[in-house]
């Protein structure tokens, strides 16, 4: 028999009381663990979101979007500037063009429709000319050729930029093309291919050159599937626009850096470029996750405080109850060290048993808890995520819609993961609570004076 | 071997200074069985605490076999109590969740007795005060008052103390049992030369001891 065995025996002295304390403490430990796990998952997801969502910046020549507007293309020098801007991790450059019937032997798979007709409208002009003698000549009305739908050509360093989901372009037959090539090769949209009986290996003419079909792609998007994708350099050569680029998509390394990268680009490119980004969208999705992370931290602190309080109060009550006993032990020669040691062992015993139960319980509960925390915030996030009015227009359809989808899926995909570090953190917090909760009652026992306690009157 | 020299004790209370003991002098020889009589409020609890090195006098000294125990530091006084003083209380004051054996072994542990021999010594001590083997394994709640007091006496004897302080040892016992306990103490002082100091208000018990000191209003008169 010694201090340790006596401490343990005292811990189980009143099974009902000790059981109640152990249970309450176990619950607080379970909460600590699940909060830590939830926090870990959320922090991991925040990093994930920051690296991927809303990190695309689109740079276009000032005044140009797709094939609308007017202005001069971006130059190689400007592209070099963009590539060398701090925090820009990758750059995709594209040049779009519209082929008319004279540019190619292909027939467009799009119909003009009222929209197309309106886009290509013009008034017929009656030109009255007078010769130098002042006599009227016959007015000749010059009319433009009848409008026809045009075929979109996208020259790009990354064919996946044409995808309408922000992911990889679906190649239904054949192979992808290398965006850095300058060969006369192309990927053809499925609808256009069907219209012109093109298969892998077929050829067609464009800009006076023979182009080989390397693959057929589908996006499910009528506009895109009626177009052609070629390497950037190829289109630059065919359209005789060396080094020209009509759109650049720059990926930033973290959503935290989007705003300042946009500023840097605006400074570097001046009024020669139009810049669009989704910085605000990214910040919103991370804000709700960061809110959860703070909530879980508050939860950990609150649960730890509750646990410490439970042990503290329980031990204070125990010391009170056993005042006389402590006085006797001191009277018959028990040192302060032995008495305090006994109480610390007693406190630790209750804490350890409670912690083991609590950790097991916490492991079971942490998964559902994380999911419920995240789904509650996801409901509020999806109602606040605004649908931007910028729909598909011109050459690039998919850009912004895809980023928005990504943000929403992020919030639902937080997975609860229990790492060894989190487990050790929970154990560490438990021990701290145990020591704190036992130390104060221990100090109280040191102050008990046998002479006072043993007065029989 | 035990000398109390000019001991006074004053307490500060909300109502002012209270002098519990006034210039107490007494001496006890080794192996004597003495009693200190006093009514409630006579200062006997205070004197008991001071004799037991649980408290220090305001003035004066307690000398036991040439050691001035009131001059010892707190830690040393605890050690002194463990090895040199045995306590027997009116309410027995055994540790409730330890068996009779374990209660005695506790005192042996505090006295620094080698752990391998504690069980044997405890068993011997209990047998010598009349606690049989099957009773030795019982907790206090399953022992009668008289048995508990015997265990208490065995505990007090554990480290062969210089003296035993008994505070109303028969106060909670019926007269027949009380007599047995008293006889036990008496035998110990005779056979083992254990010095025993009994503090009591019972004149009959006091009459059976070798000497009696009367404590009244903090002052001693020797009978």
Residue A148 has pLDDT above 60, yes or no: yes
Residue A405 or A14, more confident: A14
Alpha helices, DSSP H, located in A214-278: 232-238, 258-269
What percent of chain A is predicted at pLDDT more than 70? 84
Tens-place pLDDT, residues A255-286: 888 888 999 999 998 888 899 988 777 667 68
- Range in A3-12, A229-238, A275-284 with the lowest mean pLDDT: A275-284
What mean pLDDT do residues B122-137 have? 93
Residue B165 has pLDDT above 90, yes or no: yes
Q: What is the distance between the alpha carbons of residues A234 and A186, in angstroms, rounded to a whole number? A: 9
Tokens of A370: 């994380």
Nearest to A330 among B78, B90, B102 (CB): B78
Distance from CA of A431 to the nearest CA of B (A): 27
Residue B87 has pLDDT above 90, yes or no: yes
A288 neighbors A381 (Cβ within 8 angstroms): yes
Q: What is the distance between the alpha carbons of residues A54 and A159, in angstroms, rounded to a whole number? A: 20
Residue A389 has pLDDT above 60, yes or no: no
Which pLDDT belongs to residue A136? 53
3-state SS record for A290-323: HHHHHHHHHHHHHHHHHHHHHHHHHHHHHHHHCH
Rounded to two decimals, the pTM is 0.67
Mean pLDDT of chain A: 81
Tens-place pLDDT, residues A285-334: 688 888 888 998 899 889 888 888 888 888 888 888 888 899 999 999 99
Q: What is the distance between the alpha carbons of residues A126 and A136, in angstroms, rounded to a whole number? A: 13
A456/B168 Cβ within 8 A = yes
CA A301 to chain CA centroid, nearest Å: 27
Residue A206 has pLDDT above 80, yes or no: yes
CA B7 to chain CA centroid, nearest Å: 19
Q: What is the distance between the alpha carbons of residues A255 and A49, in angstroms, rounded to a whole number? A: 8
Name the one residue in this structure whose structure tokens are 């009773």.
B135
Tokens of A23: 């249970």
What mean pLDDT do residues B144-162 have? 93
Residue A384 has pLDDT above 60, yes or no: no
Residues of chain B positioned with their CB less than 8 A from the CB of A333: 78-79, 81-83, 107, 110-111, 159
What mean pLDDT do residues B73-100 have? 92
Q: What is the distance between the alpha carbons of residues B208 and A115, in angstroms, rounded to a whole number? A: 127
Residues of chain B positioned with their CB less than 8 A from the CB of A329: 95, 106
Which pLDDT belongs to residue A123? 61
Which pLDDT belongs to residue A282? 65
The phi-psi region of residue A263 (left if phi > 0; otherwise alpha if psi is between -120 and 50; otherwise beta) is alpha
Q: What does DSSP say about strands A273-277 and A56-61: parallel, antiparallel, or unpaired?
A: antiparallel
Q: What is the distance between the alpha carbons of residues A258 and A270, in angstroms, rounded to a whole number? A: 18
Residue A366 has pLDDT above 70, yes or no: yes
Name the CA radius of gyration of chain A, rounded: 37
What mean pLDDT do residues B66-94 have? 90
pLDDT tier, B195 (very low <50, low <70, confident <90, very high otherwise): very high
A328/B89 Cβ within 8 A = yes
A447 near B CB under 8 A: no
Residue B38: CATH number of its domain: 3.40.50.300
What mean pLDDT do residues A357-372 have? 79
Tens-place pLDDT, residues A34-50: 888 888 888 888 888 88
Residue A391 has pLDDT above 80, yes or no: no
Residue A117 or A225, more confident: A225
A456/B95 Cβ within 8 A = no
Tens-place pLDDT, residues A212-226: 999 999 998 998 899
Residue B109 has pLDDT above 50, yes or no: yes
CB neighbourhood size of A125 (10 A): 10
pLDDT tier, A124 (very low <50, low <70, confident <90, very high otherwise): low
Q: What is the distance between the alpha carbons of residues B123 and B143, in angstroms, rounded to a whole number? A: 16
B78/A332 Cβ within 8 A = no
Domain count, chain B: 1
Residue B118 or B38, more confident: B118
Which pLDDT belongs to residue B152? 95
3-state SS record for chain B: CEEEEEEEEEEEECCEEEEEEEEEEEEECCCCEEEEECCCCCCHHHHHHHHCCCCCCCEEEEEECCEEHHHCCHHHHHHHHHHHEEEECCCCCCCCCCCHHHHHHHHHHHCCCCHHHHHHHHHHHHHHCCCCHHHHCCCHHHCCHHHHHHHHHHHHHCCCCCEEEEECCCCCCCHHHHHHHHHHHHHHHHHCCCEEEEEECCHHHHHCCCEEEEEECCEEEEC
Distance from CA of A46 to the nearest CA of B (A): 55
Residue A393 has pLDDT above 60, yes or no: no
A314 neighbors A350 (Cβ within 8 angstroms): yes
Which pLDDT belongs to residue A385? 37
What mean pLDDT do residues B94-119 have? 94
Question: Mean pLDDT highest for which of A44-48, A92-96, A388-392?
Answer: A92-96
Question: Mean pLDDT highest for which of A139-143, A236-240, A385-389, A437-441?
Answer: A236-240
CA distances (Å), origin A166, targets A52, A203, A279? 11, 29, 17
For chain A, the distance separating the N- and C-terminal CA atoms, rounded to the nearest angstrom, is 33
Tokens of A244: 């020209």
A399-412 vs A15-52: helix crossing angle, rounded to 10: 170
Which pLDDT belongs to residue A144? 65
Nearest to B167 among A6, A333, A456 (CB): A456
Which pLDDT belongs to residue A386? 34
Strands (E), A128-192: 140-142, 151-156, 170-174, 185-189
CA distances (Å), origin A189, targets A44, A87, A287? 39, 34, 39
The continuous run of DSSP H or E covering A216 comes out as strand A209-218
Q: What is the distance between the alpha carbons of residues A250 and A92, in angstroms, rounded to a whole number? A: 6
What mean pLDDT do residues A99-116 have? 86
What mean pLDDT do residues B73-80 have? 88
Tens-place pLDDT, residues A407-419: 344 334 444 566 7
Q: Where are the domains of chain A?
A: 3-52+284-388+395-456, 56-115+147-277
The residue of chain B with its CA nearest to that of A325 is: B95
Tens-place pLDDT, residues A16-35: 989 999 999 999 888 888 88
Residues of chain B positioned with their CB less than 8 A from the CB of A457: 40-41, 45
B9 neighbors B217 (Cβ within 8 angstroms): no
pLDDT tier, A373 (very low <50, low <70, confident <90, very high otherwise): low
**Where in the sequence is the domain holding B39, given as residue range(s)?**
2-222
pLDDT tier, B42 (very low <50, low <70, confident <90, very high otherwise): confident
Burial of A427 (0-12, 13-18, 19+ CB in 10 A): middle
């Amino acid at each position: 028999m010694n201090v340790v065995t006596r401490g343990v025996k005292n811990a189980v002295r009143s099974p009902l009381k000790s059981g109640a304390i152990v249970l309450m403490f176990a619950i607080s430990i379970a909460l600590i663990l699940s909060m830590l796990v939830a926090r870990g998952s959320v922090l991991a997801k925040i990093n994930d979101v920051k690296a991927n969502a809303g990190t695309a910046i689109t740079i276009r020549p000032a005044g140009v979007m797709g094939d609308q507007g007017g202005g001069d293309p971006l130059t190689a020098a400007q592209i070099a500037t963009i590539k060398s801007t701090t925090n820009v991790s990758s750059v995709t450059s594209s040049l779009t063009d519209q082929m008319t019937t004279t540019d190619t032997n292909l027939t467009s798979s799009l119909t003009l429709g009222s929209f197309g007709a309106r886009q290509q409208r013009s008034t017929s002009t009656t030109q009255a000319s007078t010769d130098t003698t002042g006599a009227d000549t016959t007015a000749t009305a010059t009319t433009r050729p009848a409008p026809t739908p045009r075929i979109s050509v996208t020259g790009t360093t990354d064919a996946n930029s044409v995808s309408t989901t922000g992911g990889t372009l679906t190649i239904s037959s054949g192979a992808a093309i290398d965006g850095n090539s300058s060969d006369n090769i192309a990927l053809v949209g499925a609808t256009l291919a069907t219209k012109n009986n093109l298969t892998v290996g077929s050829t067609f003419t464009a800009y006076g050159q023979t182009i080989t079909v390397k693959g057929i792609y589908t996006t499910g998007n009528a506009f895109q599937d009626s177009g052609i994708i070629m390497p950037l350099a190829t289109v630059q050569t065919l359209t005789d626009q060396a080094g020209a680029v009509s759109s650049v998509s720059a990926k930033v390394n973290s959503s935290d850096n989007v705003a300042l990268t946009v500023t840097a680009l605006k400074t570097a490119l001046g009024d020669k470029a139009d810049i669009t980004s989704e910085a605000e969208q990214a910040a919103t999705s991370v804000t709700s996750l960061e809110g959860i992370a703070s909530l879980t931290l508050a939860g950990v602190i609150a649960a730890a405080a509750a646990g410490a309080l439970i042990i503290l109060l329980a031990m204070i009550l125990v010391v009170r109850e056993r005042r006389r006993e402590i006085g006797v032990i001191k009277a018959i020669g028990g040192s302060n060290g032995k008495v305090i040691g006994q109480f610390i062992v007693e406190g630790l015993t209750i804490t350890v048993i409670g912690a083991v139960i609590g950790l097991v319980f916490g492991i079971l509960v942490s998964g559902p808890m994380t999911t419920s925390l995240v789904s509650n915030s996801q409901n509020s996030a999806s109602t606040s995520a605004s649908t931007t009015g910028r729909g598909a227009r011109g050459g690039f359809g998919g850009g912004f819609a895809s980023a928005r989808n990504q943000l929403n899926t992020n919030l639902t995909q937080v997975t609860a993961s229990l790492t060894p570090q989190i487990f050790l953190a929970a154990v560490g917090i438990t021990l701290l609570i145990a020591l704190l909760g036992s130390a104060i009652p221990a100090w109280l026992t040191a102050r008990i004076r046998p002479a006072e306690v043993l007065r029989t009157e | 071997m035990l000398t109390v020299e000019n001991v006074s004790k004053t307490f500060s209370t909300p109502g002012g200074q209270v002098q519990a003991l006034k210039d107490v002098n007494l001496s006890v020889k080794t192996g004597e069985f003495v009693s200190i009589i006093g009514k409630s409020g006579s200062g006997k609890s205070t004197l008991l605490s001071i004799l037991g090195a649980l408290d220090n006098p305001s003035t004066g000294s307690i000398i036991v076999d040439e050691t001035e125990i009131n001059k010892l530091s707190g830690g040393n006084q605890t050690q002194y109590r463990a090895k040199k003083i045995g306590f027997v209380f009116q309410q027995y004051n055994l540790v409730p969740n330890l068996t009779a054996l374990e209660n005695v072994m506790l005192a042996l542990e505090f006295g620094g007795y080698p752990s391998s021999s504690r069980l044997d010594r405890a068993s011997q001590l209990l047998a010598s005060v009349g606690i049989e083997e099957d009773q030795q394994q019982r907790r206090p709640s399953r022992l009668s008052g008289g048995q508990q007091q015997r265990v208490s006496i065995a505990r007090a004897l554990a480290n062969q103390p210089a003296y035993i302080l008994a505070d109303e040892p028969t106060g909670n016992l019926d007269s027949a049992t009380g007599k047995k306990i008293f006889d036990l103490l008496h035998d110990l002082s005779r056979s083992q030369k254990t010095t025993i100091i009994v503090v009591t208000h019972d004149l009959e018990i006091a009459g059976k001891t070798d000497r009696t000191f009367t404590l009244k209003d903090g002052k001693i008169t020797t009978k």
